[in-house]
Amino acid sequence: MIKQAIIPLAGLGTRLLPLSSVIPKELLPINGKPGIQYILDECIDAGIKEIILIISKKKIMIKNYFFNDKFYNKIIKKKKDPRIKQEYKKILRYRKLIKFVYQNKPLGTGHAVLKTKNLIKDKFFLMLLPDDLIIKKNCSKSMIQLNKRYHSSVMASLKVKKSDVTRWGIYKFKKKIDKKNFFIDDVIEKPSLKKAPSNRAVIGRYILPKKIFSKLVKQKPGKGGEIHITDAIQSLIYDNEKFIAHNFSGKYLDCGSMKGYINSSKEISKL
Ligand code: G1P
């Protein structure tokens, strides 16, 4: 069973400027709740017992959000408001599960993952990218079930417009398992329209094998000079590591772009 999850949070969030210039984008409210809490709730509901948050010194506010006891204790004593007590209790519950590591230079998702190398215990772990919210069905939970059944790495996937392939990791499938799941035999980070092997994109939920660290330590910078997790995954696939692409059933909300961020509050308020 997968017990550990990691969440890279050290990105600059430039697509959400000016909102993210002072406040880390993951603390921005989505329908009255910070985006990061949706991701943590997905992990908890999927049975995850430890969540490693990869932050940077610039985003220390994320840590402060979970460690603000003095403030809460004072206000609870003064106001005796049961709602505040309830919210503080939730924060304390998250706190039992979270750990922090630092990635002070935004050198890519692969570089962020490498920072957790000494903390990962089991053969597989879960990674969630906080820009990608998936509502209505717990995608992590479904992926954990697939991992259990096939002893395979898994990535969430979605068909995108052919003209949009340059924005995503794009994969090529080898064998259909069923309507929603495929074994894949290649993945390319943000390919050109010409080089894209399909219009099937990787979305920000991954079950990765611990052995990815042996690839990441020697991974050279790729697209845009960053160390991409996609490139390390490609290298593992070429070594015959099994990877499943899972077409999730929930609804995808892209909270990393301004349009998507605004839309996500609207969609969640309808639930
Ligand atoms: C990252 C990955 C990309 C994936 C995407 C999903 O890109 O590198 O392969 O398709 O997440 O959201 P980023 O959003 O960091 O540019």
Judge if the beta carbon of residue 203 lies within 6 A of ligand 1: yes
pLDDT at 183: 98
Judge if the beta carbon of residue 109 lies within 6 A of ligand 1: yes
| Four-residue CA torsion sign, 137, 34, 2, 89 | negative
* Phi, psi angle pair for 105, to nearest 5°: -115, 130
Structure tokens at 180: 């929603």
pLDDT at 80: 86
**Integer Cα distance of 41 and 138 in angstroms:** 10
Locate the ligand 1 atom nearest the alpha carbon of residue 254 and give its number: 12
Q: How far is the CA of 60 from the centre of ligand 1 (A)?
A: 23
| CA terminus-to-terminus distance, the chain | 30
Q: Tell me the sheet residues that pair with 208.
A: 125
Residue-wise pLDDT for 34-52, tens only, equals 999 999 999 999 999 999 9
Residue-wise pLDDT for 85-132, tens only, equals 999 999 999 999 999 999 999 999 999 999 999 999 999 999 999 999
The conformation of residue 104, written as its DSSP 8-state character, comes to -
Nearest to 261 by CA among 14, 8, 10: 14
**Integer Cα distance of 23 and 19 in angstroms:** 7
Burial class from Cβ neighbours inside 10 Å (0-12, 13-18, 19+) for residue 238 reads exposed
Judge if the beta carbon of residue 204 lies within 6 A of ligand 1: yes
Q: Tell me the sheet residues that pair with 99.
A: 52
pLDDT at 184: 97
Q: Which of the listed residues 155, 158, 202, 229 should we mutate to test ligand 1's pocket, taking the one with most ligand atoms within 8 A of CB?
A: 202
Residue nearest to atom 15 of ligand 1 (CA): 109
Percent of the chain with pLDDT over 90: 99
Locate the ligand 1 atom nearest the alpha carbon of residue 108 and give its number: 15
Report whether 127 contacts 206 (CB < 8 A). yes
Nearest to 120 by CA among 31, 3, 239, 260: 3
pLDDT at 214: 98
**Integer Cα distance of 155 and 90 in angstroms:** 29
Q: For 87-95, which contacts have Cβ atoms below 8 Å and span 24 or more sequence positions?
A: 90/37, 91/65, 91/66, 94/37, 94/40, 94/66, 95/66, 95/67
Tell me which CATH homologous superfamily contains domain 4-269.
Answer: Spore Coat Polysaccharide Biosynthesis Protein SpsA; Chain A (3.90.550.10)
Judge if the beta carbon of residue 230 lies within 6 A of ligand 1: yes
Q: Which of the listed residues 16, 109, 111, 190 should we mutate to test ligand 1's pocket, taking the one with most ligand atoms within 8 A of CB?
A: 109
Residue-wise pLDDT for 205-223, tens only, equals 999 999 999 999 999 999 9
Name the average pLDDT for the chain. Answer: 97
Q: How far is the CA of 57 from the centre of ligand 1 (A)?
A: 23
Judge if the beta carbon of residue 228 lies within 6 A of ligand 1: yes
The Cα-based distances of 40 to 29, 48, 168 in angstroms read 14, 9, 24
pLDDT at 143: 98
Report whether 125 contacts 6 (CB < 8 A). yes
Percent of the chain with pLDDT over 70: 100
Residue nearest to atom 2 of ligand 1 (CA): 169
Q: Which of the listed residues 12, 26, 127, 168 should we mutate to test ligand 1's pocket, taking the one with most ligand atoms within 8 A of CB?
A: 168
Mean pLDDT score, 7-23:
95
Locate the ligand 1 atom nearest the alpha carbon of residue 189 and give its number: 9
Query: Could you tell me the residue ranges of all domains in the chain?
Result: 4-269
pLDDT at 134: 98
pLDDT at 2: 97
**Integer Cα distance of 124 and 228 in angstroms:** 19
